[in-house]
Structure 1
Amino acid sequence: MTVPGKGTHSARALRGLAHDSSSVRLRAALAVGTAPDPECVGALIERCAVEPEFYVRDMLTWALTRHPASTTLPALLDELRSERAQARSQALHTLSKIGDRRAWPAITPALLADADDEVARSAWRAAVVLVPEGEEHGLALALATQLGRGERETRLSLSRALIALGEVMTPTLDTAATARDLRVRAHAIATRRLWHDPDAGFEYAVEEAKRVVALGEPGQEGR
Structure 2
Amino acid sequence: MLIGDVARRSGVSARMLRHYDALGLVRPTGRSHAGYREYSSKDIQRIFHIESLRSLGLSLREVRRALEDPSFTPAELVADLIRQTRERIAAETELLTRLRRIDAVEPSGWEDVFQIVALLQALGSKSAGKRQSAALSSVDDVPLPVEALVEAALSESDPNVAGALRWALAQSGEESLALLAEGLGSPAAEVRARAVQSIAEMPNDGATTLLREALTTPDLVVRRHAALALGVRGVADAVPTLIDMVVEGTNDVDAADALSALATRPASAKRIATKLADRLAEDGVEPPARRRLTQALADIPGPTASKALTDLSHDEDREVALTATYILGLRAAR
One-letter amino acid of the structure 1 residue matched with residue 209 of structure 2: P
| TM-score of the two chains, using structure 1 as the length reference | 0.73
SS at match of 2:281: coil
Deviation per residue, 1:20-66 (Å, 9 max, x gap): 111111111122122464x7111111111221211111111111122
- Judging changes above 3 Å, is the alpha-carbon distance between structure 1 residues 164 and 36 closer, same or farther for their aligned structure 2 residues? farther
Answer yes or no: is the 8 Å Cα contact 1:10–1:31 preserved in 2: no
Instruction: Select 2:257's aligned residue among 143, 160, 163.
Output: 160
1:144 and 1:86 mapped to 2: Cα distance? 24
Task: Report whether the alignment pairs 1:88 with 2:185.
Answer: no
2:179 and 2:173 mapped to 1: Cα distance? 12
Q: CA RMSD in A?
A: 3.1
- Judging changes above 3 Å, is the alpha-carbon distance between structure 1 residues 35 and 150 closer, same or farther for their aligned structure 2 residues? farther
Q: Which has the higher contact order (CA 8 A, sep 6+)?
A: 1
Task: Give the match for residue 72 of structure 1.
Answer: 176
Task: Report whether the alignment pairs 1:171 with 2:274.
Answer: yes
Answer yes or no: is the 8 Å Cα contact 1:92–1:126 preserved in 2: no
Task: Report whether the alignment pairs 1:97 with 2:201.
Answer: yes
Answer yes or no: is the 8 Å Cα contact 2:184–2:195 preserved in 1: yes
- Judging changes above 3 Å, is the alpha-carbon distance between structure 1 residues 213 and 27 closer, same or farther for their aligned structure 2 residues? farther
Task: Give the match for residue 191 of structure 1.
Answer: 296
- Judging changes above 3 Å, is the alpha-carbon distance between structure 1 residues 191 and 43 closer, same or farther for their aligned structure 2 residues? same
SS at match of 2:282: coil
Deviation per residue, 1:167-205 (Å, 9 max, x gap): 422222222222221244222112113557xxxxxxxxx
User: CA shift at 1:73, angstroms?
Assistant: 1.5
Answer yes or no: is the 8 Å Cα contact 1:80–1:88 preserved in 2: yes
SS at match of 2:167: helix
What runs of 5+ residues in structure 1 fail to find an aligned partner? 197-208
What runs of 5+ residues in structure 2 fail to find an aligned partner? 1-93, 104-112, 302-311, 329-334
- Structure whose alpha-carbon radius of gyration is higher: 2
User: CA shift at 1:213, angstroms?
Assistant: 6.2
Task: Give the match for residue 10 of structure 1.
Answer: 116
Answer yes or no: is the 8 Å Cα contact 1:49–1:84 preserved in 2: no
Deviation per residue, 1:136-177 (Å, 9 max, x gap): 2x43134323332245xx222222222221242222222222
Answer yes or no: is the 8 Å Cα contact 2:247–2:290 preserved in 1: yes
One-letter amino acid of the structure 2 residue matched with residue 43 of structure 1: A
- Judging changes above 3 Å, is the alpha-carbon distance between structure 1 residues 130 and 83 closer, same or farther for their aligned structure 2 residues? farther
- Judging changes above 3 Å, is the alpha-carbon distance between structure 1 residues 120 and 189 closer, same or farther for their aligned structure 2 residues? same
1:92 and 1:213 mapped to 2: Cα distance? 41
> Percent identity at matched positions?
20
Task: Report whether the alignment pairs 1:31 with 2:137.
Answer: yes
One-letter amino acid of the structure 1 residue matched with residue 238 of structure 2: L
| TM-score of the two chains, using structure 2 as the length reference | 0.51
